[in-house]
Amino acid sequence: MTEYLENHRPIYLDHAATTPLDPLVLEKMLPYMSEMYANPSSLYSMGQQSRIAVDNSREKIASILNCRPTEIIFTSGGTESDNTAIKGGSQGLSQQGNHIITSSIEHHAVLNTCYQMQDQGYDTTFIKVGSDGLVNPQDILNAMTDKTVLVSIMYVNNEVGTIQPIKEITKLVKEKADSLNTRVLVHTDAVQAPGYLSLDVEDLGVDLMSLSAHKFYGPKGVGILYKKRRIPFVPLISGGGQESNDRSGTENVPGIIGISVALDLVSSKIDETVSKVEGLQSRLMSGIEERIPKVILNGHRTKRVVNNLNYSFSGIEAEPVLLGLDLSGVYASSGSACSTASLEPSHVLMAMGLNVELARSSLRFTLGANNNEKDVDYAVNSLASVIEQLRSMSSFGR
Taking CA atoms, 329 is separated from 1, 129, 280, in Å, by 11, 35, 18
How is 217-237 classified by DSSP, letter by letter? Answer: TS-TT-EEEEE-TT-----SS
Parallel, antiparallel or unpaired: strands 72-75 and 223-227: antiparallel
Kindly list the distances between the CA atom of residue 98 and the CA atoms of 34, 92, 125, 158, in Å, as whole numbers in the listed order: 47, 10, 11, 28
Nearest CA-CA partner of 103 in 159, 176, 180, 146: 159
Choose the catalytic residue: 143, 338, 350, 384: 338
- Catalytic residue flag (residue 338): yes
CA nearest to 51, candidates 235, 256, 264? 256
Q: Do residues 225 and 87 make contact, with C-beta atoms less than 8 angstroms apart?
A: no
- Bridge partner list, 210: 189, 225
Q: Where are the alpha helices (DSSP H) in the chain?
A: 2-6, 23-29, 45-65, 78-92, 108-119, 137-143, 166-179, 201-204, 253-268, 270-291, 318-328, 347-351, 356-360, 373-393
Count other Cβ atoms within 10 Å, centred on residue 113: 24
**Helix/strand/coil for 286:** helix
Nearest to 137 by CA among 112, 85, 109, 101: 101
The distance between the two most distant Cα atoms of the chain, rounded to a whole number of Å, is 76
Residues with catalytic roles: 338
